[in-house]
Amino acid sequence: MTLTQRFSNRRLLVDGLALMFGVGAWMGVNGIYVQLPLLVNTAPEGWSLPAYMVMLVQVANLGPVLYSLYAKYAAAPQDSLIIYTLLGASTIATFTLAFIYQKTSMIFNAEYSTALLGLMFVTAVVGCTSSVLFMPFMRNYREIYLVSYLVGEGLSGFLPSVVALIQGVGGNPECINSTSPDSDVIEITTYYPEPRFSTQAFFIFLSIVLFMSFTSFIALTKTSMARRELVKPPGSTETLPTDTSALPTYKTSSGWTMAMRTYVYLLIMMSIVSCLGNAALASIQSYSCLPYGNVVYHLTVTLGSMAGPLAMCLGFVIKNPKIHVLSWLTVLILALSAYLFYLALQSPSPPFQNTWYGEFLVVISWILVNGLIGFVKMGITTLFRPDPGRGLFYTGVATQIGSVCGAITTFVMVNILNMFQSYSPCV
């Protein structure tokens, strides 16, 4: 098939609209996350800010639960209207965040970044709900446009990372003597160099992209050209090849088979990598990186966030990943995670501090662990994709169980047990 024939049966403008619609799924959460190297220096939560953010994302899973109840009991679910509301709320929340992200409040005699965490929760609800609403909505369109949506969803993590990489952090903090002439006590203050552009400008950029995603969805549902690509009217029933009432069987009438032991083993593997990738590692990342400097933390956050989506793209090329390969990769993930947890526990004086090879080990370890987690998750999903039973449903359940367990465990370790210590470069 020639390139001309390949594109003759699709509308490239509809591809672009579907892609921009997918970009809006996780743009808000991912954008805030890659700003952490700048936010932790001024936020009252300090290095524990990522743990609060990870916990909020898990609480935001109330969004899919509420939507599922709505879809079950509503006489005529208005999915388009809900998506309008979610994308609009995410756009407004991110734009507002640009001007009030530094606002704090006193709660139980402690200061918290209420504006940042509150508005991030809004964007997290959008991201969590997108998994049960945005992608299923794309089934209303021809299947060729689903790939465009998935590419856009991947860009929702990749694009903020690229922009944050360009933004930089200005360099490592500097210690400045601020002792007054008439004082006998030496005072040293920490100065953080300015990035190429501010966090406010970054959040405004995110809100512009989210607004483009919002308008793209309007065009996707309202323009005559896009509506001609529909396979069925939105909201109508459709007979799907998946038997949603099937038990979690390992052998089906369609010929797809998997040993029950393998079935359960893969679900446990998915739960483990989700525990680490979606919650545990993100919660302690600041403690494992910041003792090596702001630049190291910045590189691990941005490059690590880019590694995950890039590795998951391999799932579209590798159709039948080998289970033993995924097993060995999971062992490598556990080893790298143990090393990163060890570094976090050794803060504020981890091994090889103030050396180039120590910094290199930290950055490369975070890139590898994020990339491997993304690949293993996509590999497991690929193995369950042909299952006409409820394999993908239970894969999602395993993902959520692992994420919640990881978030709760590390939140307790960071904020209640105080197992990790911050590092001050000028002490």
- Please write the tens of the pLDDT for every residue from 134-187: 877 887 888 778 778 878 888 888 899 999 999 998 888 888 887 777 777 777
Q: Is 359 helix (H, G, I), strand (E, B) or coil?
A: helix
Q: Is 423 helix (H, G, I), strand (E, B) or coil?
A: coil
User: pLDDT value at position 319?
Assistant: 65
Residue 375: CB atoms within 10 A of its CB come to 25
* Residues facing residue 174 across a β-bridge: 191
**Mean of the pLDDT values across residues 105-112?**
90
Q: Is 46 helix (H, G, I), strand (E, B) or coil?
A: helix
State yes or no: pLDDT of 26 exceeds 50: yes
Look at 277-281, 374-378, 379-383 and tell me which has the smallest mean pLDDT.
Answer: 379-383
Give 156's contacts (C-beta < 8 A, 6+ positions apart): 22, 23, 24, 25, 26, 27, 30
In the chain, % of residues over pLDDT 90: 49
Higher pLDDT, 171 or 275: 275
Q: How far apart are the C-alpha atoms of 159 and 161, rounded to whole Å?
A: 5
H-only helix segments in 276-390: 281-289, 294-313, 323-346, 356-384
Q: Is the peptide bond before 195 cis (omega within 30 degrees of 0)?
A: no
* Residues facing residue 189 across a β-bridge: 176
Q: How far apart are the C-alpha atoms of 263 and 246, rounded to whole Å?
A: 15
Domains 8-171+197-234 and 256-427 alike in fold: yes
CA-derived radius of gyration, the chain? 23
Instruction: Locate 261 and state its tokens.
Output: 């032991």
Q: Mutual orientation of helices 62-73 and 114-137 as an angle, nearest 10°?
A: 40
Confidence of residue 11 (pLDDT cuts 50, 70, 90): confident
- Write the pLDDT tens digit of every residue in 298-335: 999 999 988 888 887 776 666 678 899 999 999 999 99
- Kindly list the domain boundaries of the chain, sorted by start residue: 8-171+197-234, 256-427
Specify the amino acid at residue 244: T
Domain 8-171+197-234 has CATH 1.20.1250.20: yes
Domain 256-427 has CATH 1.20.120: no
Q: Is 76 helix (H, G, I), strand (E, B) or coil?
A: coil
Higher pLDDT, 157 or 231: 157
Q: How far apart are the C-alpha atoms of 63 and 52, rounded to whole Å?
A: 18
Q: Is 107 helix (H, G, I), strand (E, B) or coil?
A: strand
Asked if residue 173 lies in contact with residue 425, where contact means CB atoms within 8 angstroms, the answer is yes
User: pLDDT value at position 355?
Assistant: 93
User: pLDDT value at position 269?
Assistant: 95
User: pLDDT value at position 393?
Assistant: 74
Average pLDDT, the chain: 85
- Write the pLDDT tens digit of every residue in 254-267: 566 788 899 999 99
